[in-house]
């Protein structure tokens, strides 16, 4: 269909962003933007998205241990290979 974004490419791009290495400038914001994409698709719950929001200004902070500690996002942790 003309004009329809290639969802596979969009998913791949956001997957790369949500996996941006810790500590890179603006990486927390990049991870949060990608997390919002996955949340809107229904691939992430609100509690998990909230952790990415909190970590968005903390480029060196890994959201995955916080997600695990809060007991949210079990499916997301499994998808990320951390669950």
Helices and strands in the chain, H and E counts: 5, 0
- Examine the pLDDT at 2 and tell me if it is beyond 80: no
Residue of 33, 74, 68, 78 lying closest to 52 (CA atoms): 33
Q: What global pTM score does this model have?
A: 0.89
**20-77: pLDDT as tens digits:** 999 999 999 999 999 999 999 999 999 999 999 999 999 999 999 999 999 999 999 9
Q: Which token pair is 3?
A: 């004009």
Residue of 20, 8, 10 lying closest to 80 (CA atoms): 20
Residue of 26, 29, 61, 64 lying closest to 48 (CA atoms): 64
State the Cα–Cα distance between residues 74 and 52, nearest whole angstrom: 15
């Amino acid at each position: 269909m003309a004009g329809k974004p290639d969802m596979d490419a969009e998913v791949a791009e956001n997957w790369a962003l949500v996996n941006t290495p810790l500590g890179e400038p603006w990486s927390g914001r990049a991870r949060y933007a990608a997390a919002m994409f996955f949340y809107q698709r229904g691939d992430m719950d609100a509690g998990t998205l909230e952790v990415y929001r909190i970590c968005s200004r903390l480029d060196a902070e890994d959201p995955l241990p916080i997600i695990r500690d809060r007991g949210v996002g079990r499916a997301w942790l499994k998808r990320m290979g951390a669950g």
